[in-house]
Amino acid sequence: MAPKAKNKSLPFDPNGMFSGMTVFLIETAVQPRRVQIWKQKLVQMGAKIEDSFSKRVTHIFAPDMNSLLQKMDGDRLKRFKGKVLNYQWLEDSLRMGEKVPEGSYVLSMGTGGNSRSEGTEENLEKHTDGNNLSVDNPSPVKKIKTCCEESRTVGSGEGGKVSANAGSTSASSHSSRSLSPEVTSPSLDGQYGDVSTSDTALLYSPPDLNRNITAIFGKLIDIYRALGDDRRSFSYHKAITVIEKLPFKIESADQVKHLPGIGKSLQDHIQEIVNTGKLSKLEHFEKDEKVRTISLFGEVWGIGPATAMKLYEKGHRTLDDLKNEESLTNAQKIGLKYFHDIKKRIPRHEAQEMESLLQKVGEEILPGVVIVCGYIYIYIYISCGDLDIIITHPDGKSHIGFLPKFVQRLKDTNFLREDLIFSIHSEEGTDSGVDTYFGLCTYPGRELRHRIDFKVYPRDIYAFGLIAWTGNDVLNRRLRLLAESKGFRLDDTGLFPATQSSGGKRGSRGSASLKFGTEKEVFDFLGFPWLEPNERNL
């Protein structure tokens, strides 16, 4: 039977985007939980579900043609006048908040998968930011999944931080979720079991119906980050994570004034956007030469707010102006040279193929090595801005010396092309023993550069790396503040007792981290409610 039409997250809408559809679902080779959620969403948005095939059916959904033919007679299927679509159409439509073109998702006799109709590539680009989306048969269960684009700071460069941005953190990067086949958790202890990313995206990432607001807030995030104002950029980030999940279109700020992270100032911004379709604050920034220039320079890998300001004060106004700037570091020059490459997103199917390549090479060098792409359960995109790879080994010692061999093998095959940061600490035991490599890679057979990061963690602090790279900014900040309230300093390398400086203020972190075997142990110690990886998009 179809699930009840109403639940807490999304009210029943008889005129929703699936109104008029009568659906029959082929459940072979699909996780029951995924089917339950699909049915729920279909009914909530106006469709009717048939438990068996009948003349009333207008749409059949199946994972592939082989699964369909196991359940239905071929001759009967040929007489069917309705639409036979891959489940991916349903998932992508839910993600986009509107029906996407059907042509590329049609299942036809003899294909065993999808048949891409003429002219659908152009239509798909309108829904995938120009990246062609591969909708072939879902790939099998894997240990790692495509990671997302997310600006973050890492210890290096000016002021102890270097901006490792892989492009804009605009609203599109926050909301363009994609739904993929189920994946296997990276836990070494079987802590999570199998997690369906379809469940993840449908439960925790409803369609962003308020892109008019989140797109503007996303631009303000970029501007404030470039200006070094982390407090303001974070406030807009928190607001986006709340607004993008709303199951209704905001028509008045009164509808969101009681929501967390939406204060009076943001309410005024929302009301202005609703009334006028724009925000005067953003327009002011975009007209300001200084803000515009610093924001542009801040998009170059390795250039942070302080350097961007110095470059502006030297009279530079364009990227071309920077080409002969002698003060740039080698990494910054590489970031400038491949500026436009780095900003281009990686289509999902290409990212998955590159992940498979990394797994294969890693196993050849060190059997049993664990290679995971960060944010695998929260940000599941149709494309990603860069690849963030977390590595460890279960025995707690074989990770030592792995990264140089891994990097060299990948360079020998021309997968890795340029180095940005390469630091080895595992052998010396410094910096918590975390080995780090940031660089540029290429999809096999191409010259287009993409950003890629490797972090190799000792097994006893691997849990901290997973938390940092699977939790969004909001969660990581809350955990850090909670740790500080308990007298600790938390980062991706561990949980350290905080020393006290003169005057009673918090000083530097201690030299040794507490040891925890799993992420849940860290959550429990901090007193923060346990969140599965697919719940960490706060």
Residue whose entry in the numeric block shows the structure tokens 């909670």: 482
SS3 422: strand
- Helix residue ranges, H only, 29-134: 32-44, 65-71, 74-79, 87-96, 120-125
C-alpha span between 434 and 371 (Å, rounded) = 15
SS3 426: coil
* Residues with Cβ within 8 Å of residue 211, at least 6 apart in sequence: 171, 172, 175
C-alpha span between 126 and 132 (Å, rounded) = 10
β-pair partners for 85: 61, 106
Tokens read off for 241: 């994570």
C-alpha span between 439 and 442 (Å, rounded) = 10
The packing angle between helices 348-365 and 402-412, to 10°, is: 120
C-alpha span between 71 and 61 (Å, rounded) = 12
Per-residue DSSP letters for 282-322? HHHHHH-HHHHHHHHHHTSTT--HHHHHHHHHTT--SHHHH
- Helix residue ranges, H only, 162-304: 171-175, 197-204, 211-226, 230-243, 264-276, 280-287, 289-298
State the CB neighbour count (10 A cutoff) for residue 20.
Answer: 12
DSSP 117: P
Sign of CA dihedral 359, 365, 368, 371: negative
C-alpha span between 245 and 253 (Å, rounded) = 16
SS3 519: helix
Cα–Cα separations (whole angstroms), residue 47 to 57, 100, 126, 531: 11, 16, 25, 32
C-alpha span between 85 and 60 (Å, rounded) = 6
C-alpha span between 217 and 210 (Å, rounded) = 11
β-pair partners for 437: 422, 454
C-alpha span between 46 and 130 (Å, rounded) = 30
Question: Is 269 labeled as catalytic in the residue annotation?
Answer: yes
C-alpha span between 89 and 111 (Å, rounded) = 17
Of 269, 316, 349, 399, the active-site residue reads 269
The alpha carbon torsion through 10, 12, 14, 19 (nearest 10 deg) reads: 50
Tokens read off for 53: 């095939």
State the CB neighbour count (10 A cutoff) for residue 220.
Answer: 22
So which residues are the catalytic ones? 269
